[in-house]
Amino acid sequence: MADPNLSATPPQTLSTVPSKPSFWNDPQKRALVFQILLVIGIGLLLWFIFSNTLHNLDKRGIKTGFDFLDRPAGFGITQTLIPYTEASTFGRTFLVGLLNTLLVAGLGIIFATMLGFSVGVARLSKNWLISRIALVFIETIRNIPPLLQILFWYRAILPLLPGPKDSISLAELFYLHKRGLTLPSPLFEPAFIWTFWAFIAALVLAFIIGRWAKARREKTGEQFPVLWTAVGVIIGVPLITFFLTGSPLNWDVPALSGFNFRGGLTVIPELTALLLALSIYTAAFIAEIVRSGIQSVSKGQSEAAASLGLRPNRTLQLVVIPQAMRVIIPQLTSQYLNLTKNTSLGVAIGYPDLVNVFAGTTLNQTGQAVEIIFMTMLVYLAISLTISMFMNWYNKRMALVER
Amino acid sequence: METATQTKPEIAVSLRDVNKWYGEFHVLKNVNLDVERGQRIVICGPSGSGKSTMIRCINRLEEHQAGQIIVDGIELNNDLKNIDQIRREVGMVFQHFNLFPHLTVLENCCLAPMWVRKIPRKEAEATAMEYLERVKIPHQAKKFPGQLSGGQQQRVAIARSLCMKPRIMLFDEPTSALDPEMIKEVLDTMIELAESGMTMLCVTHEMGFAKTVADSVIFMDAGQIIEMNTPDEFFNHPQHERSKLFLSQILGH
Amino acid sequence: MQAFITRETLPSLPPPNTIKGPMAWMRQNLFSSVGNTIVTVVIVLAILSALIPFINWAFIKADWIGTSREDCTSGGACWVFVYVHLKLFMVGLYPESEVWRTLLVGAILVVTLAGLMIKAVPFKKYIQIFAIIVFPVIAFILLSGDSFGLPHVETNFWGGLLLTLVIAIVGIVAAFPLGILLALGRRSSMPIVKAICVVFIEVWRGVPLITVLFMSSVMLPLFLPEGMEINKLLRALVGITLFQSAYLAEVVRSGLQAIPKGQYEAANALGLTYWQGMYKVILPQALKIVIPGIVNSFISLFKDTSLVLIIGLFDLLATIQGAFASPKWLGYAIEGYLFAALVYWIFCFSMSRYSQHVERSLKTTH
């Protein structure tokens, strides 16, 4: 309370509530009015679009709704991961396209990560030549549109390959030719399940060894070669099981008959080109992220570790990588997201992804533009939101505690 | 290596005609220095005089290009074994603390003992707590470096080095990144360490510290050791023109 | 301990040859260990074995000038393909007699950009106004014609690099005001405004551009009242502008976040209203910080413009593909794609260099 002697007004009129401004000068009311007007405006715009769309669709004789998903599609798709025939429904084409998108995205992420990390590390190499080559790779690749790179592989490089008859063959098992890469496909016998279980068991075992080694190290200080033991276990145990159960795996080896191959599995050239281009393009960005992530850890950190007697490899493992990862992982996930979105460029070379099959062919056949575009966008939105939710969670978990 | 330390037990660090260049810049010129075990040496000089470079050569954070450096009877050369051995025996405290921000104070202190000396975690933690108590911040053990003040961080950095039980400690301007009110707490820790008989080489301009604990003061300029004397003599009767000039500049403040 | 005083000042000596000079450099950077030496040798051999045939094909044995594929006789690259189609690749089907108009627009653009980017040029503010408001009008009048006695050139005839640049520049310029509004809205204290902006931004950023282009080319005509037609180029531009505005909003928002709170408080304390404060104090600073971000998002947009070939527009990439698909020039895909890659690369690389340069100079002035 103010000192009554200093106050110009008598104390009994002093109020803790400030006087009210007039309606138009009250910022809260202004904001409210503004927001109401904005909502009305957007509502009007949406209503305008909505009524136009209804009218236009009506005129073209297109019935809105999702009934078309149950109608038979009547067209073929060159690559299907789940059973699909021309008699399958349009709804099925959605699933087939989605799975094809996820296939490229998944494989692309794996390849891009491997290549990107290698190039990023090469960029930091002490060998001048290696680091220069990595730099040239990065600066060339990321300044050329990904679509151009996809088309380049598909329409300029792959056609240079010979036809199936004169395939480039590796040990008569793998054949590289114009129409793709043909390789033996595995035929599993029922007993193969044991090898699978052995693999799972080996993973668990490796995990247990890791825990045990850590506990022992903390208790006695003894160190144990966890990495090599784990690799040995994960490879060795399933391999021994495989031979003990009588090698229950056969290969369907491709053989040339006439102008094409019989048996085996053929990776279609669209997939090859798309994978090559997207992996390389994304790898260039990942390499930059890895480089800047590692360089973001100040030199003082590795000097401090060195002065404590830690070897360079341990310094990397215990000090540099844990800190670099905080910088790398959020950017890496957004690159993964970009790669996933870029798989939609496959439409330009006819790779049967979601956009090509569903937002392309299915849309043309049914004319249900609104529903189909809406569903397609929703799929990508769902993927984006999932990834950005992961990113928020990760950032919150990994944020360095500061004052 | 044992025999080597026994033949020259009194010399902890010895530099013979050490030279170093950064590109074209001649940063260390024929530096000769012997530090006996238990000696406390303060190194001062204008910036760019090579004082930090000199002590960073002693644990091979920088490579010298000519001459000989012998630490604890081991000569520093390209042999990784030698470098490992020397770094275990030589602790270092940096101007910018260089604590590991992703690890707690306790984990900072236990990291090297566990991975380099292969000490069990319990034992390493006990030692760490002991040293954290010595630098008077045991209650901060579970916090992250980012949550501490600069002075506290530097004291943790000292404790972290001590956890490796080094025989020699190097200090590279440990107080120059600190706010004035925090300098004293760090200096007190260093004085206590000096009184326990640690061999210390400190690059610092803290004259009070030098007068209290140093056995001798080295003044460097332009990559050369210009003058070396007891703190009393050096501060009261500097001999060389450049020492006089330098002292008048820093005391003028 | 003995006192020691030096009386002589040692001279600075040049470093010995073992640590300085080309031999030392090579030893340190190429042959520092046995492993490194092997790697260096292997790489040099690999580069030579790949580069020599390529240089041989692309330059030494190449044919450069001619009128038809019959002029490509030496077995190397057939740059005649590019030479013959250069006009098509640059401006598409733009009438031969009117090409000077595109060149004039290009010249004005180059001069304006130089005026904006070179620090020493005065009157920055007027050049900015010219670039954002006057230039688009002049460019449109010149390119489209139908006034000032210039014959009308339908957008169907625009193509090649011209179309690529038109899409990219219109995309960024038109998206700019919307992007700023969205960024301000996302930082607004009004919950509904904020929610609308967040949803708008995240939806466009969450979907691939190609679905946006599909939407604008298929759905936009449905949204409009009966009888209202908009051409293919305009539809693509609408889609790209909406898409780009979301990305720009995020760039601008990062700049707004970087402005210290004190600036906002100072603007309030001086009695400026929200819009005055934004216009006079906050935005000029924020936009300056985000110049590198804007350039980077322009680079992405420039690369993304190639997607319009999927919805049937004839940009640089599409005209090149069209040219080598014609029976007369079948089989020159590699030359075509390499030329396209070179053009895109020159634009993107120089812009990224400029953005890095601005970033560095911002760091030193702040």
Q: What is the pLDDT of residues C295-345, one digit of tens each?
A: 999 999 999 999 999 888 999 999 999 998 888 888 888 989 999 999 999
CB C323 within 8 A of CB C329: yes
Q: A230 phi and psi, to 5 degrees?
A: -60, -45
Are the beta carbons of C210 and A146 separated by less than 8 Å? no
With b for 16 or more beta-carbon neighbours within 10 A and e for fewer, the A76-99 pattern comes to ebebbeeebeeebebbbbbbbbbb
Interface mutation vs chain B, best among C8, C10, C20, most B CBs within 10 Å: C10
Q: C173 phi and psi, to 5 degrees?
A: -70, -45
Coarse DSSP helix, strand, coil percentages of chain A, rounded to the nearest 5 percent: 70, 5, 25
Region for residue A13 given its phi and psi (left: phi exceeds 0; alpha: psi -120 to 50; beta: otherwise):
alpha
DSSP three-state, residue A21 = coil
Sheet holding B74-75, edge to edge: B25-36, B11-22, B66-71, B74-75
Longest dimension (CA), chain A: 110
Picking from B37, B36, B56, B15, the residue whose alpha carbon sits closest to that of residue B203 is B56
Q: What is the 3-state secondary structure (H, E, C) of chain C?
A: CCCEECCCCCCCCCCCCCCCCHHHHHHHHCCCCHHHHHHHHHHHHHHHHHHHHHHHHHHHCCECCCCCHHHCCCCCCECHHHHHHHHHHHHECCCHHHHHHHHHHHHHHHHHHHHHHCCCCCCHHHHHHHHHHHHHHHHHHHHHCCCCCCCCCCHHHECHHHHHHHHHHHHHHHHHHHHHHHHHHHCCCCHHHHHHHHHHHHHHHHCCHHHHHHHHHHCHHHHCCCCCCCCHHHHHHHHHHHHHHHHHHHHHHHHHHHCCHHHHHHHHHCCCCHHHHHHHHHHHHHHHHCHHHHHHHHHHHHHHHHHHHHHCCCEHHHHHHHHHHCHHHCCCHHHHHHHHHHHHHHHHHHHHHHHHHHHHHHHHHC
CB B57 within 8 A of CB B63: yes
| pLDDT band of C17, cuts 50, 70, 90 | confident
B176: distance to nearest CA of chain C, Å? Answer: 24
ipTM of the complex: 0.90
> Does the pLDDT value for residue C15 go beyond 90?
no
Q: Is C302 exposed, middle or buried (0-12, 13-18, 19+ CB in 10 A)?
A: buried
CB C234 within 8 A of CB C163: no
Please report which helix (H) or strand (E) contains residue A228, including its range: helix A226-244
Which single residue is written with the structure tokens 């006192």? C3
CB A402 within 8 A of CB B149: no
Report helix angle C34-55 to A128-141, nearest 10: 40
What is the β-pairing status of strands B40-44 and B199-203? parallel
- This prediction has a pTM of 0.88
Residue B184, amino acid: K
CB B84 within 8 A of CB A286: no
Secondary structure letter of residue A89 according to DSSP: B
User: What average pLDDT is seen over chain C?
Assistant: 87
In the numeric block, which tokens belong to residue C253? 């928002």
Structure confidence at residue A4 (pLDDT): 45
B239: distance to nearest CA of chain C, Å? Answer: 7
Are the beta carbons of C208 and A341 separated by less than 8 Å? yes
CB A284 within 8 A of CB C349: no
> Does the pLDDT value for residue B161 go beyond 60?
yes
In the numeric block, which tokens belong to residue A26? 């009250």
C25: distance to nearest CA of chain A, Å? Answer: 10
Please report which helix (H) or strand (E) contains residue A181, including its range: strand A180-183
Nearest-10 Cα torsion for C180, C183, C188, C191: 120
| pLDDT band of B4, cuts 50, 70, 90 | very low
Are the beta carbons of C6 and B229 separated by less than 8 Å? no
Chain B residue numbers touching A298 (CB-CB < 8 A)? 98
CATH class of C80-94+158-362: mainly alpha
> Does the pLDDT value for residue B7 go beyond 70?
no
Interface contact A143, partner C, CB < 8 A = yes
Are the beta carbons of C6 and B223 separated by less than 8 Å? no
Q: Which residue stretches of chain B are H helix?
A: 2-7, 51-58, 80-89, 105-115, 121-134, 150-162, 180-195, 207-213, 231-236, 241-251
User: What average pLDDT is seen over chain B?
Assistant: 89
CB C52 within 8 A of CB C60: no
What is the rounded distance in angstroms from the CA atom of residue A294 to the CA atom of residue B164?
27
What is the rounded distance in angstroms from the CA atom of residue A365 to the CA atom of residue A361?
6
Interface contact C275, partner B, CB < 8 A = no
Secondary structure letter of residue A79 according to DSSP: -
Chain A residue numbers touching B123 (CB-CB < 8 A)? 221
Are the beta carbons of A308 and B96 separated by less than 8 Å? no
CB A367 within 8 A of CB A286: no
Structure confidence at residue A402 (pLDDT): 59
Structure confidence at residue A400 (pLDDT): 67
Interface mutation vs chain A, best among C89, C167, C211, most A CBs within 10 Å: C211
Are the beta carbons of B224 and C6 separated by less than 8 Å? yes
Q: A227 phi and psi, to 5 degrees?
A: -60, -50
Mean pLDDT over residues C60-80, rounded? 82
Q: Which residues contact A154 (CB under 8 A, 6 or more apart)?
A: A269, A270, A273, A274, A349
Structure confidence at residue B106 (pLDDT): 95
Structure confidence at residue B6 (pLDDT): 47
Structure confidence at residue A22 (pLDDT): 72
Find residues 356-375 of chain A whose CB sits inside 8 Å of chain C.
359, 363, 369-370, 373
The tens place of each residue's pLDDT in chain A, 403 residues long, gives: 444 444 444 555 555 677 777 776 777 788 888 888 989 999 999 998 888 888 888 888 777 888 888 888 888 888 888 888 888 888 899 999 999 999 999 999 999 999 999 999 999 988 899 999 999 999 999 999 999 999 999 998 888 888 877 888 887 788 888 888 888 888 888 888 888 899 999 999 999 999 998 888 888 878 888 888 889 998 999 899 888 888 888 888 888 777 778 777 888 899 999 999 999 999 999 999 999 999 999 999 999 999 999 998 899 989 999 999 988 988 999 999 999 999 999 999 999 999 999 988 888 888 888 889 999 999 999 999 998 888 888 888 877 665 5
Residue A402 has its nearest CB partner, among B116, B146, B157, at B146
A189: distance to nearest CA of chain C, Å? Answer: 42
> Does the pLDDT value for residue C352 go beyond 90?
yes
Chain C residue numbers touching A377 (CB-CB < 8 A)? 203, 206-207, 211, 215
**A90-151+270-396 maps to which CATH number?**
1.10.3720.10
Q: Which residues contact B243 (CB under 8 A, 6 or more apart)?
A: B219, B226, B227, B234
Domain limits of chain C?
80-94+158-362, 95-152
CB A1 within 8 A of CB A14: yes
In the numeric block, which tokens belong to residue B9? 């037990």
What is the rounded distance in angstroms from the CA atom of residue A302 to the CA atom of residue A297?
8
Structure confidence at residue A252 (pLDDT): 83
Are the beta carbons of B230 and C3 separated by less than 8 Å? yes
pLDDT digits (tens, 9 = 90+) for B83-98: 999 999 999 999 999 9
Secondary structure letter of residue A168 according to DSSP: E
> Does the pLDDT value for residue B105 go beyond 90?
yes
Structure confidence at residue C363 (pLDDT): 77
Domain limits of chain A?
90-151+270-396, 186-250
Interface contact C118, partner B, CB < 8 A = no
pLDDT digits (tens, 9 = 90+) for C143-193: 888 777 788 888 888 889 999 999 999 999 899 999 999 999 998 888 899
Region for residue B38 given its phi and psi (left: phi exceeds 0; alpha: psi -120 to 50; beta: otherwise):
left
Chain C residue numbers touching B226 (CB-CB < 8 A)? 5-6
Residue C296, amino acid: N
Please report which helix (H) or strand (E) contains residue A31, including its range: helix A27-60
Distances (CA, A) of C30 to A136, B210, C33, C34, C42: 17, 46, 8, 10, 12
- The per-residue DSSP string of B9-39 comes to TTEEEEEEEEEEEETTEEEEEEEEEEEETT-
Interface mutation vs chain C, best among B10, B15, B19, B34, most C CBs within 10 Å: B19
> Does the pLDDT value for residue B55 go beyond 90?
yes
Chain B residue numbers touching A401 (CB-CB < 8 A)? 143-144, 146-147
> Does the pLDDT value for residue C8 go beyond 80?
no
Structure confidence at residue B5 (pLDDT): 45
What is the rounded distance in angstroms from the CA atom of residue B87 to the CA atom of residue B106?
21
Residue B98 has its nearest CB partner, among A222, A304, A326, at A304
Please report which helix (H) or strand (E) contains residue B93, including its range: strand B90-93
Are the beta carbons of C203 and A42 separated by less than 8 Å? no
